[in-house]
Structure 1
């Protein structure tokens, strides 16, 4: 006698039916008979499945049930990650960080996605996504081994606490990222203001950045800038505790040139500084694609 296996949920029922329908066709071609009955129960909708062996193969009912439950577990784990995860993450952000506006919550959500998938600018599933899928799948298989009825929201809440905690941690890190980025943008706007309110002391500045982070500044005639207002900046600094990147930005803010050309023999470890220069001096920065200054990294 075929046992009934029930799946209950408050949402994504049509998606469950569509995905399960494709799998049911595979069962039917193997001589297995699957019957589906849908029934509402308050805010929940239940899909009740019964599967039996009607083919020539001698497969026990227990084996049929086991294989079918594995199929169900795989489909449910996939839907949890591709659909419920999005809702869970947004709910976590909405409930814990309600004081942010909708646009800010959207940015936090985007940061959180990058944290849980470690994906940066990549698209599509990552190894971290696959790892979560594997952990959820094994918990589902274990649960269905002892149970013929599952409510997906309840399963997530009570059986996937570690997974939900992982999403909460990603949201917390995302908020930190958002606040750091907001402070950075405010900092950039302040520097832009300083640049805009003062007259340029030099029209054109060439910035030569060496591999060790030390920089030199030259005017439009390729002469080193050594005027009084640059005292303390234009030195071949050797003190390892001095922050060359802060000095470079301070020097450029002091000069406020109309045009900046960057000559980077090596920008290792200075990408953030260079981005800050581009953001502060919007429309004024050029990139040298190659010249004797870049090639030798020296100029006296």
Structure 2
């Protein structure tokens, strides 16, 4: 019994290596799996003819069963090949199509972000694994349906005509990457502008202490322990009531207004929050982190021992 399938794919991939490493169970059933490289294609393409050969009809497996199992394994292997070695090419193709005005360095940043979105679009790692498995499984089923009735599969053509939903996911990932990069650049420009204001302001206070809580609210006091934010909150109250600015904006605005010489950040558990990261970037060398004062211990005990 013989089954043959011709596969055409891009050159420079690990496809031949994948073939040699797979189909162990099939070979254990006394069937041979071989791959012949065909040499009639241009340099950027490779073609393989995969042969399954053997004849073992017994009470457990018929030849038809072995062929069906082999096709399943072959479809899974090609799906992994697409996700592992074509996905990057497809991302680059979409970037070249939709981001022609970007510099090469920016295109690389977009590429990295898009690839990350496709593999890890959720904070939950288990959900990411499930989604990636689902994508591979969906592609493998399409391939299996195709090779049931076709002795030749051209991988690029199959992707273009039979995996439109996968290409849509790639386009969406690139769009998200472009948007995130745009937001990052706007944020960096915003931080640069704030830095300019800080550098040109005359300091109005020597020291400001800030403690952020788990809800994003903050307390501020000066070097003498006197609260200072109440004098400034009323200035921003109308905008806050209209939802035009939030507490994060108010905090940064107050700090720029009073232009302290030194800012001490308290409560280490919340020092990685977005507003604190912005404060660090804007005020840089003026930032100090409290190593654990009495207020920090009280705040920590309040949430660990309510």
Shorter-normalised TM-score: what interval?
0.7 to 0.9
> Do the aligned residues in 2 keep the contact of 1:53 with 1:64 (CA within 8 Å)?
no
Query: Which residue is equivalent to 1:39?
Result: 38
SS in 2 for 1:108: helix
Query: Which residue is equivalent to 1:280?
Result: 282
Cα distance in 2 for partners of 1:35, 1:185 equals: 55
> Do the aligned residues in 1 keep the contact of 2:26 with 2:66 (CA within 8 Å)?
no
Matching of residue 106 in structure 1 with residue 105 in structure 2: no
Correspondence for 1:193 among 169, 191, 196: 196
Cα distance in 1 for partners of 2:285, 2:55 equals: 73
Query: Which residue is equivalent to 2:304?
Result: none
SS in 2 for 1:100: coil
Q: Relative to 1, partners in 2 of residues 1:213 and 1:33: Cα closer, same or farther, differing over 3 Å?
A: closer
Would you tell me which structure has more helix in proportion to its own residues? 2
Cα deviation digits, residues 199-243 of structure 1 (max 9, x gap) = 3211211123355544343222222338xxx95337897965462
Query: Which residue is equivalent to 1:134?
Result: 137
Cα distance in 1 for partners of 2:62, 2:231 equals: 88
Q: Which moved more, 1:199-208 or 1:186-195?
A: 199-208
TM-score, normalised to structure 2's length? 0.83
Q: Relative to 1, partners in 2 of residues 1:107 and 1:92: Cα closer, same or farther, differing over 3 Å?
A: same
> Do the aligned residues in 2 keep the contact of 1:211 with 1:265 (CA within 8 Å)?
no
Query: Which residue is equivalent to 1:50?
Result: 51
Cα distance in 2 for partners of 1:90, 1:159 equals: 20
Query: Which residue is equivalent to 1:182?
Result: 185
Correspondence for 2:87 among 85, 88, 105: 85
Q: Relative to 1, partners in 2 of residues 1:146 and 1:209: Cα closer, same or farther, differing over 3 Å?
A: same
Query: Which residue is equivalent to 1:66?
Result: 68
CA RMSD of aligned residues (A): 3.0
Gaps of 5+ in 2: 300-306
SS in 1 for 2:223: coil
Compute the displacement of 1:94 (Å): 1.8
Q: Relative to 1, partners in 2 of residues 1:254 and 1:45: Cα closer, same or farther, differing over 3 Å?
A: same
Cα deviation digits, residues 53-110 of structure 1 (max 9, x gap) = 2457464433232222112111111111111111111211122101111111122122
Cα deviation digits, residues 229-280 of structure 1 (max 9, x gap) = x953378979654622211101111122221112349859x92111110110
> Do the aligned residues in 1 keep the contact of 2:57 with 2:63 (CA within 8 Å)?
no
Cα distance in 1 for partners of 2:134, 2:178 equals: 24
Cα distance in 2 for partners of 1:120, 1:211 equals: 19
Compute the displacement of 1:174 (Å): 1.0
Correspondence for 1:208 among 191, 208, 211: 211
TM-score, normalised to structure 1's length? 0.85
Cα distance in 2 for partners of 1:266, 1:4 equals: 61
> Do the aligned residues in 2 keep the contact of 1:35 with 1:50 (CA within 8 Å)?
yes
Matching of residue 262 in structure 1 with residue 298 in structure 2: no
Cα distance in 2 for partners of 1:111, 1:233 equals: 38
Q: How many correspondences in the alignment?
A: 291
Gaps of 5+ in 1: none
> Do the aligned residues in 1 keep the contact of 2:192 with 2:282 (CA within 8 Å)?
yes
Cα distance in 2 for partners of 1:215, 1:49 equals: 66
SS in 1 for 2:26: helix
